[in-house]
Structure 1
Amino acid sequence: MNFNGFVLPLLIIITGFVVGLLFEIIIFKKIREKSLETDWDGFKVVTKSLRGLSIFSFTIAGIYIALGYMDLGAANLANIHKILTIILILLITWAVAILTSGFVNIYTRRAEGVLPSTSFFGNISKLIVVFIGLMVVIQFLGLSITPMLTAFGIGGIALALALNDTFSNMFAGLNVITSKEMKIGDYIMLETGEEGYVQDITWRNTTIKAITNNTIIVPNSKIASHIITNYHQDQKEMLVKLNVGVSYESDLKKVEMVTVDVAKEVTEKLTGADDSVEPYIRYNEFNDFSINFTVFLSVTEFIEQYKLKHEFIKKLHERYNQEGIVIPFPIRTVYMKNELE
């Protein structure tokens, strides 16, 4: 085994890999850092699509050059060239797919009101580009596409049955997006109890960020079939209800005046409370041990209600103690009749 026949080609391939690695680490890293400083999102998409491509490209170039120094025979060289060409086509296809998906996502974010800002359309465009790339590879191999399409048509029914859940989620996601009943950033609650901010709607599932900072993954078919409360639809402002009970000895006019006064004080000072809506109360029940009523306050969005309730309960408890208004403990009076024999 001579130097030119094995060692030199190996060194050329290793050199190609090292050059690609250095290009990725030094030059491309500076390009990525520069992209983070610019306001144009397209620059970031381009750098993301080209990430890692230089290593493969320089390595493949090294292999091409090394083949010129190797005596493998015409047939073997032709097969290797064909394999390298296919790899190169697939690499370019993947880069173009990421590039297309990124620009589609940018457009959907900017075209608010026309297309919802989700990754759904970006993922679909990526699949289309990958499909086209595979068709190019098949054509390059000299295979006839027509019989394959016919075979796909015959096997389409079996494929549809096998991927029933996948297609169900995909079309459900498309329905959710086009109906515009839910979009990125909305705070929603499912009838099963899950709630949080909508982060993304993909071709398979919807991602929800709970207030506990946990991520909830819900299949799109469940989103389409369940009852959903959207707290950001039309408007974010909403009324918050808080139930309170006072003793039967209380002066109900005084209770109403004090409670509304505390509610106004809290909503005026607290960020997130909507002071444009006057707080009010409504008595609603003679309970076993208390007269119950509901306090209605307004917040700018759903998540702000927790802070409002927290501050209001503290202030109300303090004020009731000052005014001598009693919030009774649960009690029950039992009368026993003595029977004389």
Structure 2
Amino acid sequence: MDSILGSNWLLAVISVISGILLGYLFGGFIVPRLAKTLTKDQLDTNHPLYTALLSLVRFSFFIFGLYTALRFLKLEDSSEEKISLYLKVFGILVFTFSFARVGSGAFTLYSSKAEGLLPSASILNNIVRMLILLTGGLVALQTLGISVTPALTALGVGGLAFALGLQETLSNLFAGLGVLLGKKVSVGDYISLETGEEGLVEDINWRTTSLKKRNGSTIIIPNAKMSKTTYTNYSLTNTGLWTELEISIPKEGNLEKLESILGQVANFSLTQIYGKGGYNESKISFRYVSFGQSNIDLVLHLPLKNIDDSGQIKSVFIKSLHSQFRSEGIDNISANTVK
């Protein structure tokens, strides 16, 4: 026992354990205050930035415990210098990964608060993380005495071969950046592709764009294809968004009475969805499109606030129209929905 105490190994172990315990003890005390200072807000404990800050504080105490343990061991100068160097490199790598998580969490937080000014897609988040990791890796190499200049020169010479080997990947990467920075589509937008597929943009990562369809399935599109395809973005500011229904009526029908019924049902349906006064009544319109041997076809325009409301409004309208026609004794009328 005296031998163990004399060699200070017990104190060294106690230092490491104390560092771990203090990290867990003070982490819950320091992080909420640190997070509030940085963000001016109260973060949820499950938020990526909160967990990243928590791991950073805990690792800081752990590294401090390791340095204290090294001082207690009182090793030979050469051994202590070598271990101290490796410990410094280990600390740099640990803090690099921690700061990468903090940077990623901060990007997630501020992109959600930027109201569309800062894209929230994971492609930019990953770029922020990779830049921090690359910087930390270069600092670690420099600390070990390895000159980073020849390495950077070699990367410059081999960059062309690397780019040729990853041509498709780089094409998707830059195409994804182009889609995001063009600010014509972002995460959360509802878009429709020229192929007829449509959905909510879930994410734009380094290789693909993910669309969530209404049935819950996911469409995966390479960014290079996404940048070249034609799509309609229903989430961009648009005062002329509407849905249409084609209605066919018999020629002998009373058009004025029909228009009055359609107007009443349209107002009733929109009120059910948006509430009274929650829509622009003047945007409801009729347009006659064809005059057949027995029928007259017209198109009814119903204004929308959001493209996702289209299906619900159509359902309410058709059900209400059917009920109104039955009460009026009107037959031989059909309605088809068009996008």
What range is the shorter-chain TM-score in? Answer: 0.7 to 0.9
1:206 and 2:209 are equivalent in the alignment: yes
- The answer to whether the aligner puts 1:305 opposite 2:306 as a matched pair is no
Aligned to 2:288: 282
User: Is this contact kept in 2: 1:182–1:230, CA < 8 A?
Assistant: yes
Give 1:3's aligned amino acid.
I
Aligned to 2:29: 27
3-state SS of paired residue (1:67): helix
Counterpart of 1:171?
A: 174
Correspondence for 1:339: none
Return the match for 1:134 from 120, 134, 137.
137
Of the candidates 15, 20, 33, which is equivalent to residue 17 of structure 1?
20
Aligned 1:51-70 pairs, distance under 5 A: 51-70=54-73
Which residue of 2 is the match for residue 3 of structure 1?
A: 4
Unaligned runs of 5+ in 1: 330-341
Please state how far the C-alpha of 1:111 moved relative to its aligned partner: 6.2
- What is the identity, as a one-letter code, of the residue corresponding to 1:223? M
TM-score (norm 2): 0.78
Q: What's the offset of the Cα at 1:53?
A: 2.0
In structure 2, what is the equivalent of residue 228 of structure 1?
231
1:139 partner letter: Q
Structure 1 pair 119–242 and aligned structure 2 pair: CA distance change class (3 A): same
- Give distance in 1, aligned partners of 2:100 and 2:245: 52
Tell me the residue number matched to 1:151: 154
AA in 1 matched with 2:247: V
Q: Which amino acid aligns with 1:278?
A: I
1:50 matches 2:53: yes
State the partner residue of 2:337.
none
SS of residue in 1 equivalent to 2:131: helix
SS at match of 2:192: strand
RMSD, matched Cα = 3.7
Deviates more, 1:215-224 or 1:137-146: 215-224
Q: Deviations over 1:128-149 (max 9, x none)?
A: 2222211111111111222212
What residue identity is the alignment partner of 1:302?
A: I
TM-aligned CA deviation for residue 251 of structure 1: 4.6
Compared CA separation, residues 57 and 73, structure 1 to 2 (3 A): same
**Range 5-14 or range 100-109, more displaced:** 100-109
Within the candidate set 180, 188, 191, 1:188 is matched to: 191
**CA–CA distance in structure 1, aligned partners of residues 259 and 203 of structure 2:** 45
Alpha-carbon distance between aligned partners in 2 of 1:256 and 1:111, rounded to the nearest angstrom: 45
User: How many pairs align?
Assistant: 325
Residue 276 of structure 1 aligns to a residue whose secondary structure is helix
Name the CA distance, whole Å, in 2 between partners of 1:83 and 1:228: 54
1:309 CA drift (Å): 0.6
Deviation at residue 177 of structure 1 after TM alignment? 2.2
Match of 1:317 among 314, 322, 332: 322
User: Residue 337 of structure 1 corresponds to which residue in structure 2?
Assistant: none
- What letter corresponds to residue 329 of structure 2 in structure 1? G
Instruction: Identify unmatched segments of 5+ residues in structure 2.
Output: 335-339
Q: 2:85 aligns with which of 82, 87, 90?
A: 82
In structure 2, the residue matched to 1:336 is none
Counterpart residue identity of residue 65, structure 1: T
| Contact residue 172 and residue 224 of structure 1 kept, 8 A | yes
What displacement does 1:302 show?
Answer: 0.8
CA distance, structure 2, for counterparts of residue 233 and residue 61 of structure 1 = 51
Deviations 1:123-169 (A, max 9, x none): 43332222221111111111122221232223223322333333122
User: Are residues 1:244 and 2:250 paired?
Assistant: no
Percent identity over paired residues: 35
What displacement does 1:52 show?
0.9
Change (3 A) 1:47 1:109: closer
